[in-house]
Amino acid sequence: MSAADDGANGANRTLGQLVATATTELSALVHDEIALAKAELRQDAKRVGIGGGAIAAAGTLALFSLPVLSFAAAFGIHNLGLGLAWSFLIVGGAFLLIAALLGLLAVAKFKKVSKPEKSIASAKQTAAVLGTVKPHPRPLTDTSPADASVTRSTV
């Protein structure tokens, strides 16, 4: 139904049609809100993934390669004529520097993660609009015991 049809026939629609239209529009609104939130969170999830990968790389470097490469590099430097203690100190400092650079990369990626601002603003706006809606007053009906004896179908 188009907007022109709504204006011309809006008074002719039944309560059921109005409720169905409202339900459909509310469902579409909720689906659009969820889609917007997913799009914003997907962007931030990529940044978190890159930052987490950098931390994992830094940890892997520190745990597995440090002992083997430290010994190989230290003894290589020692063969150049420097003392063994200074050789190990130089190698250890180099690995700490690399780990620090990877840690800084991870922190920079994590700082770029932000809240889904558009989704939050849209949800607040929707809540504000829905908060101003007043229910239609219903006429009081007499609920007598005769109503209780009416058999209803299960369909």
Spell out the domain ranges in the chain.
Answer: 15-131
According to the model, what pLDDT value does residue 143 have? 55
- Alpha helix (H) residue ranges in 61-116: 66-79, 84-111
**pLDDT averaged over the chain?**
80
According to the model, what pLDDT value does residue 64 have? 87
Residue 27: pLDDT over 90 = no
Please, which pLDDT band fits residue 53 given cuts at 50, 70 and 90?
very high
CA angle at residue 10 from 9 to 11, to 5 degrees? 90
Chain segment 84-114, per-residue pLDDT in tens: 999 989 988 998 999 999 999 999 998 888 8
In 3D space, the residue among 34, 23, 30 whose CA is nearest the CA of residue 126 turns out to be 30
Helices 15-60 and 117-131: angle between axes, nearest 10 degrees: 160
Residue % of the chain over a pLDDT of 90: 21
State both tokens at 56: 């994992």
Query: How far apart, in whole angstroms, are the C-alpha atoms of residue 138 and residue 3?
Result: 28
According to the model, what pLDDT value does residue 152 have? 53
